[in-house]
Amino acid sequence: MSAPTHSPVTEPLPRPSGLVGFAADWASDQRTFKNVSWGKAMMWIFLLSDTFIFGCFLVAYMSARMSTAVPWPNPSEVFALHIGGSDVPLILIAIMTFVLISSSGTMAMAVNYGYRRDRRKTAALMLLTALFGATFVGMQAFEWTKLISEGVRPWGNPWGAAQFGSTFFMITGFHGTHVTIGVIFLLIIARKVWRGDFETGKRGFFTSRKGQYEIVEITGLYWHFVDLVWVFIFAFFYLW
């Protein structure tokens, strides 16, 4: 009997080092760049661009606050509410933050039930999330009305640095616009989920593929981003 032949062992090619190796590692990552839907990829790109915008706004706010020679208003006094004969500092902002953070929990549960194809619980949780968002916007409108009645304007305020008004209305207004858009989008998708459009594959915006609840997750990505941005606004604008 002839001895069995063995195929020659091929030694692995040496891994490139430096920048070439770094680029090769990224280029070979199949999990990150494949099997991602167009809608989810576009949402991530949008959120990345929006991160830069909010980042620029917050950096501009910090630069204005640290460079002004005029005293900056005390947030504990400016955002206080007169309750029971005394001023309670930041009580409205604390409630707004609690409401918005709670909406992240309901949105996460909506995504979970969406992938279980439990359309009634998914729609109910999305409507609850939209209610939280609308409540937040309503409280923000009350906050704006209160400050405007006290003399705060984009070009000045009665408590000190003039930049306070412009940065406040710019940052909170831009964020409030995002929350409002998110509430509208939540209502639209919740209505489609409740009607069963994702089960029947009814033709229309976001419902052309039967059994696909991915749009609920995409909506959740946007909503969690809005909540995360508010955490930074709360920390930099109201606590600093």
| pLDDT of 10 higher than 80 | no
- CB–CB of 236/60 below 8 Å? no
Helix-helix angle 163-195:119-149, to 10 degrees? 160
Predicted TM-score (pTM) above 0.95: no
Distance (Å) of CA 183 to CA 45, 178, 186, 222, 238: 21, 9, 5, 11, 24
- pLDDT score at 220: 94
CATH architecture of 37-238: Up-down Bundle (1.20)
| pLDDT of 50 higher than 90 | yes
Q: How do residues 144-187 score in pLDDT, each as one tens digit?
A: 999 999 888 888 888 888 889 999 999 999 999 999 999 999 99
